[in-house]
Structure 1
Amino acid sequence: MSSTEERSSSGFQAKLALNPRLRWFYRVGVGIVGTVVLLVGIVLIPYPGPGWLVVFAGLAILATEFAWARRTLSYAKARYDAWTAWLGRQHWAIKLLIVAATGLIVLATLWLLGALALVGGWFGLEWTWLHSPIW
């Protein structure tokens, strides 16, 4: 970070410190953005892609303003690292079982959200079991 960036950043922090109302709006904004990113990440966890990365990004956004989020981020990182280390030590059959379970979770959520019926409709498959029980 250049000295100009540091000065502008510290200037912004100084403005926040001097104006309680601005500080409150800033914290609310950080809270809203961080919560939305966190919730999107939680939804993305079982799907292929950056689910956990998005969860950690949401927590990191929240951690800029909230102590509980800093603690949660630290705890979540430690648990995630422990999980990946444990998984790395497992036999290939256990890894395959975990991949299969994740695949079943993805299929179940796609079915519940009506995505299977939607895609089936594209191919002319109107099977009743493809339709979500909640739609």
Structure 2
Amino acid sequence: MSERRDPPRWRRRISTTLALIRANPTGRLALRVILGVLGAVVVAVGVMLIPLPGPGWLIVIAGLGIWAVEFHWAKRLLGFTRRHVHGWANWVKRQSLAVRFVIGSVGMLFVGAVALLSIKLSLDIDVIGEVLHYFATH
């Protein structure tokens, strides 16, 4: 059996501070509202960034982590997400180099297609058409 370590000092301080805030009904309500709004803003920014190459999903998960401080449903959803992401990562690690290459290639093609579609729909720029037109005229 592995022995459990005490949480780090910063985590104990945060837990103590949150417990003090929650001890007061007004503080409890204010904490729920502040964390609810902050989590919603972070999740909204993450959702807007999902179609673009970058950390969109990571930002959504960070917003879920903010909500998980105060909301039980978010804590359960965050645990579910962590389990499945870790399971997927462990499965990919066990695959051969060829399979990992295919998974990475498909992922990059998907992100590229989403990025091109996002640029087309949001900026009305046909990147592929522009590139083909450039090569046809030069």
TM-score scaled by length of structure 2 = 0.63
Of 85, 91, 115, 1:86 maps to 91
Deviation at 1:58, TM superposition (A): 1.9
* 1:71 and 2:76 correspond: yes
* 1:101 and 2:109 correspond: no
Of 35, 38, 42, 2:40 maps to 35
Any idea what SS the aligned residue of 2:59 has? helix
Any unmatched runs of 5+ in structure 1? 128-135
CA distance in 1, matches of 2:17, 2:88: 41
CA distance in 1, matches of 2:83, 2:64: 14
Deviation at 1:95, TM superposition (A): 1.2
> Could you report, residue by residue, the CA deviation over 1:22-57 in whole angstroms, capped at 9, with x for unpaired residues?
432321221122233234445448835x45543432
Deviation at 1:93, TM superposition (A): 2.1
Structure 1 residues 27 and 83: CA distance shift in structure 2, 3 A: same
Percent identity among equivalent residues? Answer: 33
> Which residue pairs with 1:24 in the alignment?
29
Letter in 1 for 2:106: A
Which of structures 1 and 2 has the larger relative contact order (alpha carbons within 8 angstroms, sep 6+)? 2
Any unmatched runs of 5+ in structure 2? 1-8, 134-138
Of 44, 47, 56, 2:53 maps to 47
8 Å contact from structure 2 (residues 44, 60) kept in 1: yes
The number of equivalent residue pairs is 120
CA distance in 2, matches of 1:12, 1:86: 37
